[in-house]
Each structure stands twice: as C-alpha cells, then as structure tokens.
Amino acid sequence: MDTIFAKRRRRFLARMQEGVAVFRSAPVCRRNGDVDHPYRQDSDFHYLTGFEEPGAYAVFEKSRDRRRFVLFVEPEDPEQDVWTGRKVGVDGAVRDYGADEAFPNREFLDRLPDLLLNRPRLYLAFGRDPDFEREVLGRVETLKSEARKGHHGPWEVVDPRVILWDMRLRKTPAEVASLERACEVTMAGFEAAMRAIRPGMREWEVAAVLEFEFRRRGASRVSFETICAAGANAATLHYVANRSRMGAGDLVLMDAGAEVDFLAADITRTVPVSGRFTEPGRTVYSWVLRAQEAAIATVRPGATYREVHEAGLRVLCEGLREMGVVKGETREIMESGAYQPFFMHRIGHWLGADVHDVGPYFRGGESIRLEPGMVLTVEPGLYFSDANPAAPEWARGIGVRIEDDVLVTRDGRRVLTARLPKAVEDVERFMAAGSWWEGVRPASIGRVRRTTSR
C-alpha cells in the first residue's frame, strides 16, 4: 500500500540515524462543560501516519537491518462506540494505515522499554509536550538502571522535527495538488463573499458565507479563525470578533482559508462594501497591490525570502512617502523603520499543513533561498488604526491587506490563488456582476438526494 504517508515514512526513516522515534497524537481539548473543541490531529503526527484519531502513539525503529512502524491506538470498544462511532482500532491500524504492528494505546508505556532497549538514539520532540517527554524519558532512565542485566537506553536525544520540518518545507506534487484544491475551495468562498457583501450586513454574515462555501465544497475545516474586518477593524491584524455592522463607505478585509487533506490555504482580499472603491481607500489599496505584485515578481528559485520582503516593503515605503504619511527618501524610510506603525508584519510565511507552516526562514544567519516546491504567502498591508497617533487624520480607519499563495516552480512561480480578482476594476466588475443571495435560493441547490442507506 504505497500511500503518500508510506512514502513520507520511507523518506523520514531514510534520514533518521539508527534509533527509535516516538510521537504522540494531539490532545483532546475541553471547550466547556462536557463539550470538546473539534479534534484536529497534530500536523507532524498526521504527516507521517495519516491517522486522525486522538489517543495514539507512533513509533519508528531504524537499525542496520530493520525499519519498523508501530502504532498504538484507542482500541475498539463496542459500548463506547455506540456513542462515538467505530474507531480504527488495532486491526484497522495495520490493515488501513500500514503499521507493521499495532497495539492498544494503554500498552504504550509498558512496551516502550523493549522498543528502546540498547538503541543508541531517541528521536523525541522536546519542549512541546512535557508530560509525554517525562513519561518517555522516565522509561529511558529505567533502562539505564538495568546496566547489570546488559541493558542500556538511548544516550542521545534528537528532535525529529529537524528532519520532518525540512521535509514539510518542500511540497511534493501530491501535496501541491491538495494545496491547489484548498486554494480552489477558498477562492470559491471569496467569490461568494464578494457577491454577498451589502452595506448594513454584519461581519459575521460574511464570515458565514465564506465558511459555508468552504464546507459545501468539501473542506475539512478552516485553516484558522476567519477574519472579517470592516473599516478600522482591519487595522487589528488578527481581528476575529467579526461583529461590527459594515458601512457603505467601508472597506472590508477578509482573511480566510479552507483546509483540504491537512493542507491550508490562506487568502486575503480587501474590498469596498459598496462594491466601488472610493478615495482615500482606493489610493491606499493601489499601493498595497503594487507592493504585492512587486514582491510576487521576485519569487523564483534562488531568490531569498529577504528579497521578497524587501521588494514589497520598498513599494509600501514609496507609497507612504507619496501619500505624505512619512517624510524622507524611500530608502531612508525602509532603513529607519519609519514605516512600522503602518506595516508591522513580514511579507509572508511558509504555507502547508499549518497556516504559518514550519521550516526555517534563515540558515546560518542568512535568509533562506527559495527552491521549487516551497509555498509561501505574499501579503503586504497598510494599516491606519484609529488609535495610531502617527496615522494622518484622512487615513484613520483604513486597513488593507492583499494575500495570495505562491508556489515556487523550476522556472519561477505559480500563484495558486491567481484567479481571484484583486485589480481595482476587476474587483468592482466582479462584485457588480452577480449576487450570491440569488444563488442560494433552495431551488438552485438541486434535488435533495438521500445519502444514507436504509
């Protein structure tokens, strides 16, 4: 069964030195009372196993003549399963998830000493899950106390993320295909939202349209909490309250993403609530768009992350100067940091299983060079908060960010979210050309088909 997960395991094991790697699934988090937050598997755990249930452990063994993958899972329990449905179980872990061997999760700690016995090296993520660390290292210590029986445990602990995160940084063609689907679904959500926005609506209604389309089109969940921020709310970078009423003169910033196959899209569009850009928002918007286009144009193999950042920053600083927000030459504004009250984040981030995906941005003090298969967001913005004394009066209450997802290819780049309008005229034309509300009349949904068998 050569699944995407089996391929990843082979690559991971090929890069491991002799030893044993142990991983634990993400914990279940209580929301309130006896209700839990929706469960989402840990990205590293899922990357290697594809296993989505909680309460699991994965063990990888590598020696000169043997490579083994062992899963410990929540066993089937007919009484419990009446409430929560059937679990994968021990047999399913072998049959459907490619484990060489599987055991009930309650046996993990008892079997661990055998798995670690006389192994030179333990791969264990440290600093993330202190309870798990303590339990595993406790078993290592026990082995060492048995020296007279000829036992020893691993002497060396390596964080497996040094391998995994390097793997996750470069997407395989199969991963790119999933990410493209996530981007497709996300763009469809934005198209719907752009045609649903009306003055007087609440931000939460726009968020609901985005998320409705994501789920309707098969996304597992959102990549992060949806941001719908009208007017001055857009100057709060991670505004998620989404409860203000949108005025006809406002711009509304939507930053959202759908997750498909554990890969996250992340798009931002800032559009006029009325459907037509007006000054001064239009001018601010145009500078951000130019900055974004300049930054995207630098993405290619061999370019550094810093070059992408600076290409966008240069145009933002030019815009701040031209608009009279900051005085001085563009270069001075860039170097002095005088732009920071209005642009306080970096140009973008790696994108993958986590929206702010893993992987280094610097190596040996040098900004990392882009390679084919890497995916990053490019998302400049200008923010003029009501509470920012440095913001000129005319600009207060305007926040603009434009964000696309960009794959580095052999000969340059591919913007995975390019279809979604962002030029001023394109946005206006798109918003004017139809109403999402027409599209949701029950008649258009089609005949309801029965999906469960009786």
Selection from ligand GLY, Mn ion, none that 203 binds (CB < 5 to 8 A by kind) is none
Residues 336-355, one symbol each (x = binds ligand GLY by CB under 6 A, - = not), give: -------------x-----x
Neighbouring C-beta atoms of residue 163, cutoff 10 Å = 19
Residue nearest to ligand GLY (CB): 255
Does 46 participate in catalysis according to the annotation? Answer: no
Q: To the nearest whole angstrom, how small is the minimum distance from the Cβ of residue 99 to ligand GLY?
A: 35
Using CB under 5 A as the binding rule, whether residue 377 contacts Mn ion is answered as yes
Catalytic-role residue among 74, 180, 403, 405: 403
Q: In the chain, how many H helices and how many E strands?
A: 15, 21
Rounded Cα–Cα distance for residues 284 and 319 (Å): 8
Catalytic-role residue among 57, 97, 285, 383: 383
Q: To the nearest whole angstrom, how small is the minimum distance from the Cβ of residue 352 to Mn ion?
A: 12
Using CB under 6 A as the binding rule, whether residue 357 contacts ligand GLY is answered as no
Q: To the nearest whole angstrom, how small is the minimum distance from the Cβ of residue 377 to ligand GLY?
A: 6
Q: How far apart are the first and last CA of the chain?
A: 32
Name the residue nearer to ligand GLY (CB basis): 318 or 357: 357
262 to 301, contacts with ligand GLY by CB under 6 A?
266
Interface with Mn ion (CB under 5 A), residue from 180, 255, 293, 318: 255
Selection from Mn ion, ligand GLY, none that 274 binds (CB < 5 to 8 A by kind) is none
Rounded Cα–Cα distance for residues 74 and 57 (Å): 10
Q: 186: part of which helix (H) or strand (E)?
A: helix 173-196
Place of tokens 């088909």: 449
Q: To the nearest whole angstrom, how small is the minimum distance from the Cβ of residue 356 to ligand GLY?
A: 6
Does 39 participate in catalysis according to the annotation? Answer: no
For ligand GLY (CB under 6 A), the number of binding residues is 7
Rounded Cα–Cα distance for residues 273 and 231 (Å): 9
Does 159 participate in catalysis according to the annotation? Answer: no
Judge contact between 405 and 171, C-beta under 8 A. Answer: no
Choose the binding region for Mn ion from 56-64, 254-262, 311-319, 415-423 (rule: CB under 5 A).
254-262
Strands, E, within 325-365: which ranges?
362-363
Q: To the nearest whole angstrom, how small is the minimum distance from the Cβ of residue 264 to ligand GLY?
A: 9
Rounded Cα–Cα distance for residues 208 and 90 (Å): 39
Rounded Cα–Cα distance for residues 421 and 404 (Å): 11
Selection from ligand GLY, Mn ion, none that 224 binds (CB < 5 to 8 A by kind) is ligand GLY
Does 403 participate in catalysis according to the annotation? Answer: yes
Does 255 participate in catalysis according to the annotation? Answer: yes
Using CB under 5 A as the binding rule, whether residue 404 contacts Mn ion is answered as no
Interface with ligand GLY (CB under 6 A), residue from 44, 61, 191, 255: 255
Choose the binding region for Mn ion from 11-19, 125-133, 140-148, 253-261 (rule: CB under 5 A).
253-261
Catalytic-role residue among 74, 266, 310, 318: 266
Does 266 participate in catalysis according to the annotation? Answer: yes
Name the residue nearer to Mn ion (CB basis): 99 or 228: 228
Rounded Cα–Cα distance for residues 58 and 45 (Å): 8
Does 383 participate in catalysis according to the annotation? Answer: yes
Does 37 participate in catalysis according to the annotation? Answer: no
Choose the binding region for Mn ion from 124-132, 192-200, 255-263, 444-452 (rule: CB under 5 A).
255-263
Name the residue nearer to ligand GLY (CB basis): 88 or 355: 355
* Residues 6+ away with beta carbon under 8 Å from 170: 371, 372, 373, 374
Does 401 participate in catalysis according to the annotation? Answer: yes
> What is the residue-wise DSSP string for 260-327?
ETTEE--EEEEEETTSS--TTHHHHHHHHHHHHHHHHHT-STT-BHHHHHHHHHHHHHHHHHHTTSS-
SS3 (DSSP) at 373: coil
Rounded Cα–Cα distance for residues 303 and 411 (Å): 12
Name the residue nearer to ligand GLY (CB basis): 60 or 350: 350
187 to 246, contacts with ligand GLY by CB under 6 A?
224
Does 379 participate in catalysis according to the annotation? Answer: yes
* Residues 6+ away with beta carbon under 8 Å from 48: 5, 8, 9, 12, 23, 58, 60, 164
Length of the chain: 454
Rounded Cα–Cα distance for residues 362 and 48 (Å): 25
Rounded Cα–Cα distance for residues 122 and 64 (Å): 15
Residues at the interface with ligand GLY (CB under 6 A): 224, 255, 266, 349, 355, 379, 403
Positions annotated as catalytic residues are: 34, 238, 255, 266, 345, 349, 356, 379, 383, 401, 403
Residues at the interface with Mn ion (CB under 5 A): 255, 266, 268, 377, 403
